[in-house]
């Protein structure tokens, strides 16, 4: 417990934590259980290229998401790239995507021969705003990519209706929505395809990895062909494959074994997230000016992140809060800031519109530590620290401004 402002790490005091508290999930299974699972691949002498564990994982994930197909991948970014390439059908065009989102998206568009077309988001769900999407559709549009956020998957039906009206493919980056429901069904089957990640920091940990869910048989065959170099000898008997590029996006057995143990333990993972989220809710309830973003109430959610809004009455700026907490050993970040259309990730020279909701959101949020490296006791300490910051706010503000931190 800090007793005066000079004990804050950013002002020279000892940090609250001597090892980093992360914003990633970093779920780790028991190593013995992992080795037992992995042994199947060694026994079969089948380490990658559709091995037995990969196939078991795909079946399990398809059942979990309620889709006809699950196509496992080396990572989610490749899945997004593959879908953008495939949906463009040989055309160099634009993919509609939110600007308040994950930094990789504009890069993936360019790998797929597309440019990002940034749209605004809904102020509450942070999902693509259907009105902004509709006014951005033009003759260059090749597909629409919605991103489901951690707290609320958003108006997926609204987005799908617009896509159908304009005869455009629509797909979702649902990385943050594993285990979340929409209309009381697990995410997975609601658009042409959905992409998920198995990166160590996400809900399901396969070290690295990803997958696509879809109910479209022809699309599934194309993706399976595409992820394995699109070899002519393996070409599926389906139309419309002329403009498809292949690549190597296969998941291997080591990663699949790890991911399999995550999906087996998904309920426990979500329960632990729930405990941490509630520890924050309790710890922040008497602190004025910091508001924990709530989760959607009438659906299942995975409680994977704790995002805080810094309101105007709080004595420090969002960026000062990030610097201060980082100094204390919380390896946190601002939440989607800067927005993509104003960031280094925007292709140079791209003409971008003003996106008022996105720009406002990008100024006010930061993430708090969660996941396996953060205990509920750690969360109590963090909340005590935040309470001290509330009390000492104006003095801290003066000191940080003197240091040039605004
Ligand atoms: C992490 C992440 C990705 C990319 O996942 P990888 O498997 O690391 O490629 C894509 N979208 C969102 C929203 C993410 O958070």
Q: What is the pLDDT of residues 89-102, one digit of tens each?
A: 999 999 999 999 99
Residue 154: both structure tokens together: 């958003």
Q: How far is the C-alpha of 248 from the C-alpha of 268, rounded, in Å? A: 33
Q: How far is the C-alpha of 328 from the C-alpha of 389, rounded, in Å? A: 13
Q: Across residues 349-369, what is the average pLDDT?
A: 97
Q: Across residues 356-364, what is the average pLDDT?
A: 97
Q: Across residues 336-341, what is the average pLDDT?
A: 96
**What mean pLDDT is reported for the chain?**
97
Q: Is 199 in the pocket of ligand 1 (CB under 6 A)?
A: yes
How confident is the model at residue 78, as a pLDDT?
98
Q: Is 262 in the pocket of ligand 1 (CB under 6 A)?
A: no
Given a cut of 90, whether residue 358 has pLDDT beyond it is yes
Ligand 1 geometric centre to CA of 77 (Å): 6
> CA distances (Å), 202 to each of 55, 301, 366, in order?
21, 14, 17
- Residue 239 — pLDDT band, cuts 50, 70, 90? confident
Q: How far is the C-alpha of 160 from the C-alpha of 137, rounded, in Å? A: 13
Among the listed residues 319, 270, 314, the one whose alpha carbon sits nearest the alpha carbon of residue 295: 270
Query: Which element (helix H / strand E) includes 133?
Result: helix 130-136
State the number of CA atoms in the 13 A half-sphere of 355 facing the CB.
Answer: 33
Q: Across residues 207-220, what is the average pLDDT?
A: 98
| Entry pTM | 0.97
How confident is the model at residue 205, as a pLDDT?
98
Q: Is 102 in the pocket of ligand 1 (CB under 6 A)?
A: yes
Q: Across residues 295-318, what is the average pLDDT?
A: 96
Q: Across residues 255-260, what is the average pLDDT?
A: 98
Q: How many residues would you count in the chain?
A: 406
Contact 197, 73 (CB under 8 A): no
Q: Is 169 in the pocket of ligand 1 (CB under 6 A)?
A: no
Q: Is 74 in the pocket of ligand 1 (CB under 6 A)?
A: no
Question: What letters, b where the CB count within 10 A reaches 16 and e where it falls short, cover 3-28?
Answer: eebeebbbeeeeebbeeebbbbbebe
With the most atoms of ligand 1 within 8 angstroms of its CB, the residue from 154, 194, 197, 251 to mutate is 197
Separation of CA 43 from chain center: 35
Q: Across residues 219-247, what is the average pLDDT?
A: 93
Ligand 1 geometric centre to CA of 76 (Å): 6
* pLDDT > 90 in the chain, percent: 97
- Residue 1 — pLDDT band, cuts 50, 70, 90? confident
Q: What is the tens place of the pLDDT at every residue in 119-174?
A: 999 999 999 999 999 999 999 999 999 999 999 999 999 999 999 999 999 999 99
Q: Is 100 in the pocket of ligand 1 (CB under 6 A)?
A: no
Q: Across residues 171-190, what is the average pLDDT?
A: 97
Q: What is the tens place of the pLDDT at every residue in 8-20?
A: 999 999 999 999 9
* Three-state secondary-structure class, residue 12: coil
Q: How far is the C-alpha of 102 from the C-alpha of 95, rounded, in Å? A: 15
Ligand 1 geometric centre to CA of 285 (Å): 31
State the number of CA atoms in the 13 A half-sphere of 18 facing the CB.
Answer: 1
Ligand 1 geometric centre to CA of 210 (Å): 8
**Sign of the Cα pseudo-torsion (322, 294, 149, 259, in order):** positive
**Can you tell me which residue has the tokens 């508290």?**
21
Given a cut of 90, whether residue 354 has pLDDT beyond it is yes
Q: Is 98 in the pocket of ligand 1 (CB under 6 A)?
A: no
> CA distances (Å), 87 to each of 102, 150, 191, 226, in order?
20, 26, 13, 13
Among the listed residues 72, 8, 66, 38, the one whose alpha carbon sits nearest the alpha carbon of residue 250: 72
Helices (H), 26-70: 31-44, 52-65
Ligand 1 geometric centre to CA of 297 (Å): 25
Q: How far is the C-alpha of 384 from the C-alpha of 389, rounded, in Å? A: 9
**Can you tell me which residue has the tokens 């809004």?**
309
**Can you tell me which residue has the tokens 């290229």?**
49
Q: Is 104 in the pocket of ligand 1 (CB under 6 A)?
A: yes
Contact 84, 108 (CB under 8 A): yes
Given a cut of 90, whether residue 244 has pLDDT beyond it is yes
How confident is the model at residue 240, as a pLDDT?
87
Q: How far is the C-alpha of 339 from the C-alpha of 102, rounded, in Å? A: 9
């Amino acid at each position: 417990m800090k007793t005066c402002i000079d004990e804050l790490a950013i002002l020279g005091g000892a940090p609250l934590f001597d090892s980093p508290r992360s914003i990633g999930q970093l779920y780790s299974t028991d190593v013995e259980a992992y080795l037992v699972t992995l042994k199947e691949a060694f026994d079969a002498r089948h380490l990658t290229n559709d091995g037995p564990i990969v196939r078991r994982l795909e079946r399990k994930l398809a059942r979990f998401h309620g889709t006809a197909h699950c196509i496992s991948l080396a990572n989610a970014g490749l899945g997004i790239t593959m879908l953008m390439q495939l949906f463009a059908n040989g055309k160099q065009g634009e993919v509609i995507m939110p600007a308040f989102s994950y930094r990789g998206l504009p890069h993936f568009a360019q790998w797929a021969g597309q440019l990002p077309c940034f749209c605004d988001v809904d102020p509450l769900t942070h999902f693509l705003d259907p009105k902004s999407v509709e006014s951005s559709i033009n003759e260059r549009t090749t597909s629409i990519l919605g991103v489901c956020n951690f707290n609320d998957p958003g108006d997926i039906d609204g987005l799908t209706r617009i896509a159908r009206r304009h005869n455009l493919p629509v797909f979702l980056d649902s990385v943050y929505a594993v285990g979340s429901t929409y209309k009381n069904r697990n995410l997975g089957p609601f658009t042409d395809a959905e992409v998920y990640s198995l990166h160590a920091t996400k809900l399901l940990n396969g070290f690295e990895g990803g997958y696509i869910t879809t109910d479209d048989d022809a699309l599934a065959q194309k993706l399976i062909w595409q992820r394995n170099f699109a070899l002519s000898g393996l070409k599926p008997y389906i139309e419309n494959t002329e403009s498809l590029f292949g690549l190597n996006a296969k998941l291997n057995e080591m990663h699949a074994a790890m991911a399999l143990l995550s999906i087996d333990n998904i309920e426990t993972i979500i329960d632990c997230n729930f405990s941490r989220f509630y520890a924050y809710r309790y710890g922040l309830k008497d602190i004025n000016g910091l508001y924990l973003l709530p989760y959607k109430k009438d659906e299942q959610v995975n409680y994977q992140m704790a995002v805080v809004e810094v309101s105007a009455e709080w004595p420090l700026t969002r960026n000062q809060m990030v610097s201060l907490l980082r100094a204390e050993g919380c390896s946190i970040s601002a939440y989607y800031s800067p927005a993509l259309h104003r960031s280094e990730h925007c292709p140079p020279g791209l003409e971008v519109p003003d996106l008022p909701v996105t720009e406002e959101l990008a100024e006010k949020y930061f993430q708090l530590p969660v996941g396996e490296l953060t205990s509920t006791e750690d969360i109590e300490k963090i909340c005590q620290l935040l309470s001290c910051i509330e009390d000492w706010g104006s003095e801290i503000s003066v000191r940080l401004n003197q240091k040039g931190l605004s």
